[in-house]
Amino acid sequence: MFRISALLLLLILSPALSAAATAAAGDILSLSEALEIALARNPSLRAAEARTRGALEEVKITRTDFLPKASTQYGYTRLQDAPFQRIDGRERLVGDEDGHHWDITLSQPLFTGFATRSRHQIARNSAEIEKLAGRQDLVAISQDLRVAWFEALLAGRITEVAEGNVTALQSHRNDAERFFRQGLISRNDLLKSEAALANALQERERAVAAGTVTRSRLANLMGVELAPGRVLEDIAAIEPQPLELPALYEEARQHSPVLQGYRLALDNLEESVNLAKSGYYPTLTLAGRYERNGSDPGAATNDFANDDNAGIAVTAKWDFFEWGRTGAEVAKQKFARQDLAEQVRGIENQLRFDIERAFLDLQVAGNNIGTANLGLEQARENWRITDLQYRNQVATSTEVLDSRSLLSQAESNYYRALYGYRIALAQLERAVGRS
- Average pLDDT per 10 consecutive residues for the chain, totaling 435 residues: 32 31 59 90 89 95 94 93 84 86 94 93 95 92 92 94 94 90 88 92 95 93 86 72 86 91 94 93 94 89 87 93 92 95 93 92 88 93 92 89 93 91 89 86
Query: What pTM was computed for the model?
Result: 0.78
Taking CA atoms, 73 is separated from 107, 302, 415, in Å, by: 14, 19, 78
With contact defined as beta carbons under 8 Å apart, do 285 and 157 qualify? no
Look at residue 241 in the predicted model and tell me its pLDDT.
Answer: 64
Taking CA atoms, 374 is separated from 226, 367, 381, 385, 406, in Å, by: 35, 12, 11, 17, 13
Q: What does the alpha-carbon distance between residue 237 and residue 7 come to, in Å, rounded to a whole number?
A: 10
**Which contiguous run of DSSP H or E holds residue 238?**
strand 237-244
- Specify the 3-state DSSP secondary structure of 13: coil
Q: What does the alpha-carbon distance between residue 23 and residue 338 come to, in Å, rounded to a whole number?
A: 54
Look at residue 237 in the predicted model and tell me its pLDDT.
Answer: 54
**Per-residue b or e along 308-334, where b marks 16 or more CB atoms closer than 10 Å to that residue's CB:** eeeeeeeeeeeeeeeeeebeebbeebe
With contact defined as beta carbons under 8 Å apart, do 54 and 84 qualify? no
Q: What does the alpha-carbon distance between residue 259 and residue 264 come to, in Å, rounded to a whole number?
A: 9
Which regions of 80-209 does DSSP assign to beta strands (E)? 84-87, 90-93, 98-111
Nearest to 431 by CA among 185, 144, 205, 236: 144
Q: What is the CA radius of gyration of the chain?
A: 39
Instruction: Sort strands 84-87 and 90-93 into parallel, antiparallel or unpaired.
Output: antiparallel
Beta bridge partners of 105: 71, 289
Look at residue 95 in the predicted model and tell me its pLDDT.
Answer: 83
Look at residue 14 in the predicted model and tell me its pLDDT.
Answer: 31
Q: What does the alpha-carbon distance between residue 200 and residue 279 come to, in Å, rounded to a whole number?
A: 77
Phi/psi at 251 (nearest 5 deg)? -60, -45
With contact defined as beta carbons under 8 Å apart, do 97 and 78 qualify? yes
Phi/psi at 95 (nearest 5 deg)? -170, 175
Cβ-proximal residues to 258 (8 Å cutoff; 6+ apart), any chain: 132, 136, 347, 351, 433
With contact defined as beta carbons under 8 Å apart, do 264 and 122 qualify? no
Q: What does the alpha-carbon distance between residue 415 and residue 417 come to, in Å, rounded to a whole number?
A: 5
With contact defined as beta carbons under 8 Å apart, do 268 and 125 qualify? yes
Look at residue 239 in the predicted model and tell me its pLDDT.
Answer: 62
With contact defined as beta carbons under 8 Å apart, do 114 and 256 qualify? no
Look at residue 236 in the predicted model and tell me its pLDDT.
Answer: 54
Nearest to 247 by CA among 359, 147, 135: 359
- Specify the 3-state DSSP secondary structure of 154: helix
Which regions of 282-431 does DSSP assign to beta strands (E)? 283-294, 308-317
Beta bridge partners of 236: none
